[in-house]
A and B are shown apart, each in its own frame.
Chain A
Amino acid sequence: EAGVTQFPSHSVIEKGQTVTLRCDPISGHDNLYWYRRVMGKEIKFLLHFVKESKQDESGMPNNRFLAERTGGTYSTLKVQPAELEDSGVYFCASSRQGHLLEKLFFGSGTQLSVL
């Protein structure tokens, strides 16, 4: 079974530019999550999709971040315009059901550097 796929693996952009990160969850997983790790800090929850609906977006930092999951398959996370403090590793995870008893599968992350 293919795992959670994220791309690009690395992205270097200048402040003010736009970047779009993509996540392909494991097939059949209705639940998709975005997390972020700013350098040296903890991994923080951003949001949770159930199929194409946003179940919980309490962790989204501000309105420069836009997450979508059209059709309930892959998801994108757009940052527009990017700021220096957006640098970090963005992780995507998926699970079949939305409960902690269900195993969460993580992708290898996108390293975003905003210069």
Chain B
Amino acid sequence: AQSVTQPDIHITVSEGASLELRCNYSYGATPYLFWYVQSPGQGLQLLLKYFSGDTLVQGIKGFEAEFKRSQSSFNLRKPSVHWSDAAEYFCAVGPTGGGNKLTFGTGTQLKVEL
């Protein structure tokens, strides 16, 4: 069965600092990989996704993520965090065989200090 681990429940960074949120997955093959963000009172919004090809993917709001097959990881990064990035971030995997059933991690709550 596939699973996703987000080891950091809470992270606090200063505005302007760099950010890296960790995500490790367990899956029989290379899955489809996603990062979603949920801001207070909002629905989950897709930041970026990896299906194949270039292992460094660019997303919205200046985020990027790198797929590392050898480490089964898909860490999310941003070079300079803005106060508006404070939110909860979810890593998710999906089967490559079809369907749209996502398996999510437990989420990482990001706090940004001004």
Contact = CB atoms under 8 A, between A and B. Distances in A.
Contact of A56 (B51, B90, B101, B107): B101
Contacts of B11: none
Interface stretch (A13-21, A70-78, A96-104): A96-104
Interface in B98-112: 98-107
A91 B94 contact: no
Contacts of A95: 100
A61 interface: no
Contacts of B103: 42, 45
B46 A103 contact: yes
B43 A44 contact: no
A59 B45 CA distance: 22
Given A42-B4, A43-B90, A104 B43 contact: no
A42 B106 contact: yes
